[in-house]
Structure 1
Amino acid sequence: MKLKTHTLGCKVNQYETEYLREGLASIGYSDAVDGEGADLCIVNTCTVTGEGDAKSRQVIRRMARENPAAKIVVMGCYATRAPEEVKLLPGVTEVLTDKRELPDLLGRFGVTDVPTGISGFGSRHRAYVKVQDGCLLRCSFCIIPHVRPDLASRPMQHVIDEVARLVDRGYREVVLTGIHLGHYGVDFNRLKPKSEWTRLAHLVEALANLPGDFRIRLSSIEATEVTRELMDVMAAHPEKVCPHLHISMQSGSDGVLRRMRRRWGAQRFVDRCAMLKERLDRPAITTDIIVGFPGETEEEFLETVEVSRAVGFSKIHIFPFSARRGTPAASFDDQLPKPLKQERVHRLAEVEAELRDEYFRSLEGMQLRVLVESKLDNGRYIGTACRYAPVEVEVPAELEGKFVDVVAGGLVDGKIQGVQ
């Protein structure tokens, strides 16, 4: 039996697809090679933007065209948001609207020993591990809480066992991910006294104490969840926990943040990042920023630029505002024209490049632990440092997928030159 999968969107989706692939492999499914028809196709969709919806539909139609005899199962946030729309697409035999039903889906296909996690992540050198699902926030621009509203944290022992398996299989970096990662444990804590609460810091601490040559990286987290407790764990385990946090800012303007229904102002965000820098040695701080939010003035955009400089981000994921039907922001007055949004994207991208190079240069002379990932055209290898910086190194082929310790040299074409 042959299987084809396609995943759009976030790290959580990638993990969930891998979970299904592994479960189906246990009953004889194998990945179809290029040009080979599949018996079963799984499409894991995204609905963060309208473009995500469109790409999801394109993939489903292509799967149906190329695999006319296949059953097509569609899951993911677009499937949850618009199941009736998805059912009408060619070849679709099932639409899964609730990710909590993944074990049941495997059972319907004949998997009797339903896994509690994964033990591999394809040919990648890093593995994503989903530890949490659901979001309680109601940011005015975001559709995700409408399609993944229920908080569900995985039992800590399941996560510990899964990470141990991945490390045993040779994965050197494990990325903890969730829909709202910083809310790990919140659902466990509702009926417990505060002294017995489980938090993300407790999970990271437990994983950092596992034996083996590996490191843990955290995916996106909110500023209010960068707690002293979490910073203490990161500082206590510098070899195991990457000194890098992706802290979602979205805007540096208090006016825009209020319209976005975010939970803090710009100064509080800056202060939390400053606290992180005081606790750790030159941590990498990356972020997401939406430009062109309804009503965003030139002054508010410049406030975002100013805050970005104050924090000193090493990378900014920049998104022009995309109105999502069903969210409050989609009906706000003062929607900005596309050319203005694109112009601000371009200007912020120039600032991002400047800040990135400035941060990378600040690492010169520092020892970095690099995960060697792939060979470049020049015969050298590219890898990712603990501080989420691309590093070019000259190493033998047998070190691909392993760690090397290098001293950060100069910057060439946006890549740090690693010196051994």
Structure 2
Amino acid sequence: MTLGCKVNQFETETMEGLFKKAGYEIGRFDEPADVYVINTCSVTSLGDRKSRQIIRRAHRENPEAVIAVCGCYAQVAPQDIEAIEGVSVVLGTKERSRIVEYVEQAMREQRQIVGVSDVMQAHTFEDIPLYDSPKRTRAFLKIEDGCENFCSYCIIPYARGPVKSRQPIHIREEAEKLVRAGFREIVLTGIHLGAYGRDLAPIACADGTERKVNLADACREVLSVPGLRRLRLGSLESLELSPELFELIRSDERFCAHLHLPLQAGSDPVLHDMNRHYTTAEFARLIENVEREVPGIAVSTDIIVGFPGETEELFADGLRFVEKMNFSRMHVFPYSRRTGTPAAKRKDQVPEPVKKERVHRMQALADRKAEEFHRMFLGKKMRVLFETEKDGVTDGLTDNYIRVYTESPVVCGEIYEVAIEKLYKDGVWGTVVEKM
């Protein structure tokens, strides 16, 4: 069972592969099992609560089962996990390569095994190869772990430790496996993706100088794999976009014209209190540069509302700033108080009803801006990677992250050219023209 982000999803898939390699059969989480693995999230207090609920549910399903709990919540609060009835193995965000070993030790010795260590002392990427193909149409490929930004609301730096990057050669090897398995799109993910390469040894240049490895190098490794149809990036910080990256997006049609760049707040005092390292004016200039470098690119974002100290005036400033931006999609979240972070200690917490009302207002703006973006593509033809089918309607994503629905006969996991006809649900409706 996976809670939380795409990085967690990828890590669960690597652990599934380890169990399969050891001879285990992977079943559904809601079915009786001998071993349950729960990969937890701790971004919000809700994530913590859901993790505890799922652990207890697994224990009720089979009180004799080995329950292994890992991930961010287990890393930052291992004592909480250890105290839950039925938990046999507690790992954090390290040592997942040994999860089968820990599970089997717990079985043999009939005791709880705790393998949580100081993640702040971890400086090497835990490189676990994929031993099995994920059951999806898009493949997530984790190339970085850790974060050193220490935003005042975020527990993740304490759960993941410093930046750790995957070696470029191993990125290519994993990408080759995924393409051989039939995936048309690879999504590069990381906790702080834009920091990729900071911790790696520099590259020697032809002129005798050296340069740091960066995200563009990782992208080139994946793009060099024959048969790849699409490459997409996970969430990035706007400050970390490089001319090399822009050149790759412009020059290679396989590179999806979509960037997810979290804004988090639309007022300078709130950004300062969040310990975000830019102002709204700087963010706007960065987005203008993105749009100038890659015309037509889609930019999505994250917004947190109700941060401690956010007055009605500051929230209104945020609404006005977002109104001016050309966001294709916005993920709006209420601020969640996270024990252990500086923001959680503040006395000027925004009341829950106020946060809820502000989420509603910001989400209404987000919906309107998404509709405006989608309208730009009515009457056009777009390439869509179809993903899921329900009741005769199949949906998938364009390279610029518009969800497209159709009743045309298609095969999930394949790319088709689609004529876009009308707005529909959270995206658009279209008719297939041809398979690409």
Q: TM-score range by the shorter chain?
A: over 0.9
The amino acid across from 2:291 in the alignment is K
What letter matches 1:387 in structure 2? N
Letter in 2 for 1:273: I
Determine the structure 2 residue equivalent to 1:3: none
Q: Deviation string for 1:143-176 (max 9, x for gaps)?
A: 1111111221111111111111111111112111
After the TM superposition, which residues 16-415 of structure 1 pair with which residues of structure 2 at under 5 Å, given as runs? 16-33=11-28, 36-99=31-94, 101-108=95-102, 116-189=128-201, 195-238=210-253, 240-377=254-391, 379-397=392-410, 399-415=411-427
Distance in 1 separating the partners of 2:190 and 2:14: 15
Give distance in 2, aligned partners of 1:50 and 1:414: 28
**Structure 1 residue 192: Cα displacement:** 8.2
The answer on whether the counterparts of 2:203 and 2:211 sit within 8 Å (CA) in structure 1 is: no
Residue identity matched to 1:402: E
What is the CA–CA distance in structure 2 between the aligned matches of 1:84 and 1:190, rounded to whole Å?
40
Cα-to-partner distance string for 1:376-418 (whole Å, 9 max, x where unaligned): 43x2321111111111224324x22100012333213333222
Offset of 1:365 from its aligned partner? 3.6
Q: Which amino acid in structure 2 is aligned with residue 364 of structure 1?
A: L
Q: Quick one: structure 1 residues 393 and 195, their matched pair in 2 at CA, closer, same or farther if it must change by over 3 Å? A: farther
For residue 191 of structure 1, report the CA deviation from its aligned partner: 10
Equivalent AA in structure 2 for residue 88 of structure 1? A
Q: Deviations over 1:335-368 (max 9, x none)?
A: 1111111111000010000000001111234332
Question: Which whole-Å CA distance do the structure 2 matches of 1:287 and 1:295 have between them?
Answer: 22
Give every structure 1 segment of 4 or more consecutive aligned residues whose post-TM-superposition deviation is greater than 4 Å: 33-36, 107-111, 189-194
> How far apart, CA to CA, are the structure 2 residues paired with 1:182 and 1:34?
33
Shift, 1:12, TM fit: 0.9
In 2, the alpha carbon distance for the partners of 1:256 and 1:146 equals: 22
CA shift, 1:126, in A, is 1.0
Distance 1:307 1:390 in 2: 26
TM-score (norm 1): 0.92
Counterpart amino acid of 2:160? R
SS at match of 2:362: helix
CA RMSD of aligned residues (A): 2.1
Identity of aligned residues (%): 40
Structure 2: distance between partners of 1:299 and 1:387: 34
User: How many residues are matched?
Assistant: 409
CA distance in 2, matches of 1:34, 1:107: 21
TM-score calculated relative to the size of structure 2: 0.89
**Following the alignment from structure 1 to structure 2, what is the Cα–Cα distance between the partners of residues 163 and 373?**
20
Q: Residues of 1 paired with 2:177 and 2:192: CA distance?
A: 24
CA separation of 1:89/1:191 partners in 2, compared to 1, >3 Å: closer, same or farther?
farther
Q: Tell me how far apart the structure 2 counterparts of residues 147 and 333 of structure 1 sit (CA, whole Å).
A: 25
